[in-house]
Amino acid sequence: MEYSCIGLHDLPDEILMIIFKKLDNFDVLFTLHGVNERLNRLIKDSIFTSRLTFVEWMSNNFIDLISSDMIVNRFRLQILPEIRHKIEWL
């Protein structure tokens, strides 16, 4: 049996969407934004942009998912302006 090297770019959009849906919207947007045009198009789908949560509830405490000024600035200056018209809940 021959080995083949299959990368993320080889997967169809449908498979990528299934994978991305398993992840937190915040992580998908922050991690994949700006990687390439194809991923930008996929992550700007309303599945990932309509409901954004910046805190997480764990053990009766809120945990802030935005842990640094760099993350805040990237969301505020780059990501949110591009998806603002798709956000329904923040």
Segment 18-54, tens digit of pLDDT: 999 999 888 899 899 999 999 999 999 998 888 887 6
Q: How many domains does the chain have?
A: 1
Q: Between 83 and 65, whose confidence is greater? A: 83
Closest CA to 90 of 57, 47, 49: 49
In a domain, 69, yes or no: yes
Query: Per-residue confidence at 58, pLDDT binned at 50, 70, 90?
Result: low
In a domain, 53, yes or no: yes
Residues 7 and 38: beta-carbon distance below 8 Å:
no
- Is 77 a residue whose pLDDT tops 80? yes
Q: Cα dihedral sign for 8, 24, 83, 78?
A: negative
In a domain, 78, yes or no: yes
Q: Cα dihedral sign for 47, 53, 59, 63?
A: positive
Output the pLDDT for position 56: 61
In a domain, 89, yes or no: no
Residues 75 and 25: beta-carbon distance below 8 Å:
no
Question: Cα(41)–Cα(59) distance, rounded to whole angstroms?
Answer: 35
Which residues form the domain of 57? 8-82
Output the pLDDT for position 67: 65
